[in-house]
């Protein structure tokens, strides 16, 4: 028996049909993999996921139906969460990582303002309670 369903004998790519012991091994492997990733990487990756989701919700996707995917209520939530996250993480991750995240956040805040039919007053846009007014 090779130990895996992919034919390579490495124990990876097991399906849900495998026993509970296999699922437990998969969880242990995933935890071990996560433990090897630096906190800065996890933080930056999480911020990039929030940015990507916010961009799609602002209608900035590259798909032909990007405008149909626009949902400014959802974008507001994501941008506000991103602003709080970046603001809290900045001292921990250093300026070399925080700077580009702040730039991306600012771009999203401006894109949100541009996409809004009635722009928020200065200082009241998404995330501006964490970043201050964005111009």
> Which pLDDT tens digit goes with each residue over 37-68?
999 999 999 999 999 999 999 999 888 888 88
* Domain parsing of the chain, residue ranges: 39-131
Q: What is the mean pLDDT of residues 1-28?
A: 61
In whole angstroms, give the CA distance from residue 114 to residue 108. 10
Confidence of residue 32 (pLDDT cuts 50, 70, 90): confident
Task: Read off the DSSP letter of residue 127.
Answer: T
Instruction: Quickly state the pLDDT bin for 35 (edges 50, 70, 90).
Output: confident
8 Å CB contact between 55 and 69:
no
Residue 86 has pLDDT above 70, yes or no: yes
Mean pLDDT of the chain: 88
What is the pLDDT, as a whole number, of residue 2? 46
Min mean pLDDT across 14-18, 24-28, 36-40, 74-78 is at 14-18
Distinct helix (H) and strand (E) counts, the chain:
6, 0
pLDDT at 26: 87
Whole-number Å distance between alpha carbons of 99 and 59: 24
Residue from 35, 131, 41 nearest 94 by CA = 41
Query: Both tokens of residue 72?
Result: 């400014």
pTM for this prediction? 0.77
Helix (H, G, I), strand (E, B) or coil at 21: helix
CA 69 to each of CA 47, 66, 73: distance values in angstroms, whole numbers, following the listed order: 20, 5, 12
Dihedral sign for Cα atoms in the order 104, 109, 114, 115: positive
72 neighbors 58 (Cβ within 8 angstroms)? yes
């Amino acid at each position: 028996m090779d130990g895996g369903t992919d034919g390579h004998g490495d124990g990876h790519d097991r399906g849900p049909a495998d026993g509970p012991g296999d699922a437990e091994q998969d969880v242990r492997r995933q935890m071990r993999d996560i433990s090897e990733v630096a906190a800065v990487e996890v933080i930056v990756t999480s911020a990039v996921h929030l940015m990507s989701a916010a961009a799609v919700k602002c209608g900035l996707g590259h798909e032909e139906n990007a405008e149909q995917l626009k949902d400014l209520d959802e974008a507001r939530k994501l941008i506000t969460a991103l602003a709080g996250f970046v603001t809290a993480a900045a001292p921990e991750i250093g300026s070399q990582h925080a700077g580009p995240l702040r730039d991306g956040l600012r771009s999203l805040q401006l894109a949100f303002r541009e996409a809004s039919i009635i722009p928020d007053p200065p200082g009241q846009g998404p995330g501006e309670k964490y970043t201050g007014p964005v111009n």
